[in-house]
Amino acid sequence: MKFIIGIGGVTNGGKTTLTGRLIKNLPNCCVVHQDDFFKPQDQIEFGEDGFKQWDVMTAMDMDAMVSTIKGWMENPVKFARSHGVSVSATNDSDPEREIHILIVEGFILYNYKPLIDVYNKSYYVTIPYEECKRRRSTRTYTVPDPPGLFDGHVWPMYLKHRTEMESNSLDIHYLNGMKSKEELYNQVYEDIQNSLLNAL
């Protein structure tokens, strides 16, 4: 059985931390990070807001991301092995009931039509503006944030994408990123376990 989990949400909401814990504890679990598909810096355009447009879909090589996900869907065992994930038997009696899990993690997961139907489970982490701005200011990025980027580009784009996403009427489970890492992890892990049991 193949099971794809989306973990989307606001920048610095805790998506990667949550994903990291889930990978360690779910069987045969691989991950695709949207951040690995940013185009080179010289291909990122400047927008009307005066900033390089990092927080939009066109900053991503979505074709490459889709083909990576399709590669997993076609052969999760081969994909796992090529990414250094050890594959273990979850069900000795019936290989068809083997569980293979892919977590897709990123900041605009549910706005790209070719991917909307692939998720068995969709999560979205939210935190309030003040907290997001505070966390963002403590992070060090390869390309440092220019002054005013958060208010001028990052947050407005987050709100825009969130509104678009909500109009897609996907079944999204919203997660409160203000909860402790422990609480968030337990909530999602339990929910995934229940879904897997129901799907088997």
Q: Which residues are designated catalytic?
A: 35
The three state secondary structure string of 126-164 is ECCHHHHHHHHHHCCCCCCCCCCHHHHHHHHHHHHHHHH
Distance CA 95, CA 97 (A): 5
Distance CA 99, CA 27 (A): 7
Angle at Cα 104 formed by Cα 196 and Cα 8, nearest 5°? 100
What 3-state class would DSSP assign to 166?
A: helix
